[in-house]
Structure 1
């Protein structure tokens, strides 16, 4: 049985690190955009915690979902709220591979976050 993807993204949007981690296999490989892949839940926990500290909030609107064997491909409109209160929308795709027990053992996020962290223009 695969993890509940919609519930996982509810945890992600709530910045619930432990809820998110419960969906991951212990040996997960997690890559966010062009960052170096993180290996194992401990590295992912630290990386996600650090990322959450860099933004005020986020919200994913799923616009596509495809499941093929052990792989799930997702498409989102994601709105990031900056600490200055600005909101930036960016497209995002996620590719997940599910282990035999249903938890995610490979998690890849494809997006460009540069607008989120760029200086605000007036």
Structure 2
């Protein structure tokens, strides 16, 4: 997956519409967000994203760098979250995903500490 394709992944997330992101995922996707339990499949990911999006007012990813080894991509990002009170906080994150031969993501992991988003 090239840097442009990584940009497409994060643009889908930043739409704040879980359906946009889920379109990039295999039906049997496994997604792990931070230290949360794994979400398995489209329905679980959609539900999980809706729940998360309800706790923030918006987000935007800035890609710092990407690495690719075969079908695996690692993306270092700076994610700016808009809190429900209108303030903003930026946090470093790393996302790792595996893309199948058909172009769909089958495994997606996000490594981030969200504490600053919810602390005063």
TM-score, normalized by length of structure 1?
0.92
Superposition map of 1:20-31 within 5 A: 20-31=21-32
Give the TM-score normalised by structure 2.
0.94
Structure 2: 5+ residue stretches without partners: none
State the match for 2:44 in structure 1.
Answer: 43
1:112 alignment partner in structure 2: 113
Shift of 1:8: 2.3
Per the alignment, residue 64 of structure 1 pairs with: 65
Within 1, Cα distance between the matches of 2:47 and 2:91?
Answer: 23
Deviations 1:22-79 (A, max 9, x none): 0000000000000001111110000001111110000100001111001000000111
- Count of residue pairs the alignment pairs up: 119
What is the RMSD of the two structures over their aligned residues, measured on CA atoms? Answer: 1.6
Q: Which residue of 1 aligns with 2:7?
A: 6
Moved over 4 A (4+): none
User: Which ranges of structure 1 fall in alignment gaps of 5 or more residues?
Assistant: none
Report the 3-state secondary structure (helix = DSSP H, G, I; strand = E; otherwise coil) of the residue aligned with 2:54.
helix
